[in-house]
Structure 1
Amino acid sequence: MEIPNRGKNIMKTLCLAIVLGGLALSSALQAQPSEDTVSVPVSARQLRIDLPDAYSKMWPEDYRDLVANYSLSNGQTLSIISRGTNMYALVDQGPPHKIVSTSRNNYVALDRQLKMEIVLGGDQGASGSVTMVVPSRSLSDGRFVPEQVVLLAFR
Structure 2
Amino acid sequence: MNFSISLTINGVRRDVALDDPRVTLLDLLRERLDLTGTKKGCDRGQCGACTILVDGRRINSCLALALSHDGAEITTIEGLARGDQLHPVQAAFIAHDGFQCGFCTPGQIMSAVGLIQEGRAGGDPERVREGMSGNLCRCGAYAGITEAVLEAQDKMNVANQRRSA
Larger radius of gyration: 1
Determine if the TM-score, normalized by the shorter chain, exceeds 0.5.
no
- Larger relative contact order (C-alpha < 8 A, sep ≥ 6)? 2
- For normalisation by structure 1, the TM-score amounts to 0.25
More helix by share: 2
The normalised TM-score by structure 2 is 0.24
